[in-house]
Each structure stands twice: as C-alpha cells, then as structure tokens.
Amino acid sequence: MSKKLVREKRTKKPKTKKPQPFRSPTERTELNEAREPIRLNRLLSLAGITSRRKADELIATGRVRVNGKVVREPGFKAVWGKDKIHVDDREVPGPEGRAYIMLNKPFGYICAMSDPLGRPLVTDLLDNVKERVYPVGRLDFDTMGLLLFTNDGEWAYRLTHPRFSVPRTYKATVADYMEDTALEMLRSGVRIPGAVRAKGKVTLLSRDNRQTVIRLTITQGVSRQVRKMVEVVGYRVIHLIRTGFGTIELGDLKVGEYRYLETEEVNKMKKLVGMR
C-alpha cells in the first residue's frame, strides 16, 4: 500500500454509526461493585490499567497513591470513582461501561497510544469512540487485519498471556513457490528468537512460481512470529493480515473501519479464557 493511500486512510473518517457500548451481566456486576470498597489490585484491573498480578507489583513498589497517600498493601480497599487514585502521575479513570471493539488495521499504522515520531496511530481511526480503550496486544507497522480494543483489563490480560494459548490466525503471502517440506517444518515447529519452539497449524491456500499463500494459526504470540517462522524455513513474507483472534473473525469489515463486538462474540471469548 502506498504512502499516499496511508495518508488518505488517516484523513478519511470511518462511516460508522455511533453504537452503544456492550453491557453484559458481568459488567453490570462490576459497575455495582465499584460503588463499594474493593481491593486495590482488582480496582486497577477493572479500570484497564493492568492485570491484578502486575497491580500487586505496582502497589508493592509504592507507585500507587490513594487520596494523595502511597499505599503498599494489595489488600487495601478503595471506592472506585470516589477515592482519588493515581498510578505514578496518571489518574485512574472512574467506572464506565465496558467496550469491546474490532478494527481492521491498515498498513502503516502503529499500535500505540502516542508516538514521538508522529506516525499514524491505530487510535486515530476510533474517532467516534467515547470510551478510553487501548489495543489488545499489537500488530506490526507492516501487518494488517484484526486488532481488538477494550477498557477491560482482565479480558485483555487473558487474551494476550501465553498461559491461555489464545489462537491467532493469519493469511500470509510468501515470495516464491513454497515447498511441501517447508510447510511441514512450520507444522512440526522451528526455533526462532524469543521462543523455544514455534509451530502452527498450516493450510496451503494457493501457490505458483511467483508466490505462495498460506493460512497459519499460532498460539504463542512472539513478536513478528509468523515472519520469523517463514524466514527460518528459507522464505520471506511479503504480505500479512490477521484474520482471526480466538473465536472472533475479521469477516468483511473494511480496511480502516471498526465495529463494536456483539454480546455473543464477547461471551465466547470470555469463555475461551475462563472468565465468568
């Protein structure tokens, strides 16, 4: 995709109706719970700041303040939305409805909330989203496709933690004719930097003397894993798009556009990672 097209994608706003955020029975429980004192580590998780385990670390190292005072006990309780809570110099936002969003990420955007180099951000494409959401994991600058956003910290943590082995599916276009032996190596596993052994479920979609197209599903989520795996077996990825994440599929969502997930989609993903 040319740089001109990337600029056009940034200035063209998605034609998306202003939807209402997803509200599940679980979410209503969380919002009710927020009116009562709750453990500080759970509060930080519900607010989308971090996971409970990492919240314990933030608290233990004195990086969390409640009403101006440093708190070091994870069991300390506060009222979300009433007490003033800060992590470092960042104020923890009050309770709000949970939002679950899927974006079809274009080429040339980075998965970050800000960038000192001024490159296009995936959040630039969420112009009608009122909730403060952040990406679930990341896609590289040169990778397109399914990218999730949420303000549900526990959901995001479980979807990205290796312990839960959430599958990610990619459609990869590879330069040249890919031999069967190379495909079999991807299935059985190869050693790449950042992983003891990386393997995936591989389906051959098409190939000729110019290029090969495969569908590859992985569960490890190492940075640039698909590209590294293909390089190890002697080939090069020239185009990569993520088409699936867990039980969610990209479908016919257009490049640069987003939509809120349906209730059933969110519930299936929660079930996949053992959430109530």
Q: What is the CATH number for 190? A: 3.30.70.1560
pLDDT: which is higher, 97 or 144: 144
Q: What is the CATH number of the domain that holds 39?
A: 3.10.290.10
Same domain for 114 and 85?
no
Mind listing the pLDDT tens digit for each residue in 183-233?
A: 999 999 999 987 778 999 999 999 999 999 999 999 988 889 999 999 999
Range of the domain at 147: 98-162+248-272
| CA nearest neighbour of 51 among 71, 29, 74 | 74
Q: Indicate whether 127 and 263 sit together in one domain.
A: yes
Of the residues 140, 142, 152, 252, only one is catalytic, namely 140
Domain count across the chain:
3
Rounded to whole angstroms, the Cα distance separating 66 from 68 reads 5
How confident is the model over 157-175, as pLDDT tens digits? Answer: 899 988 999 999 999 999 9
Residue at 80 is within a domain? yes
Over the chain, what is the mean pLDDT? 86
- Is the residue at 263 inside a domain? yes
Residues 174 and 236 both lie in one domain: yes
Sign of CA dihedral 254, 256, 262, 267: positive
- Which of these three, 63, 91, 119, is where a domain ends? 91
More confident residue, 116 or 125: 125
Task: Answer whether residue 9 is part of any domain.
Answer: no
Structural domain contains residue 11: no
Residue 239 within any structural domain of the chain: yes
Told to judge if 140 belongs to the known catalytic residues of this protein, a careful annotator would answer: yes
| DSSP β-ladder status, 144-150 and 237-245 | parallel
Q: Residue 276 has what pLDDT?
A: 65
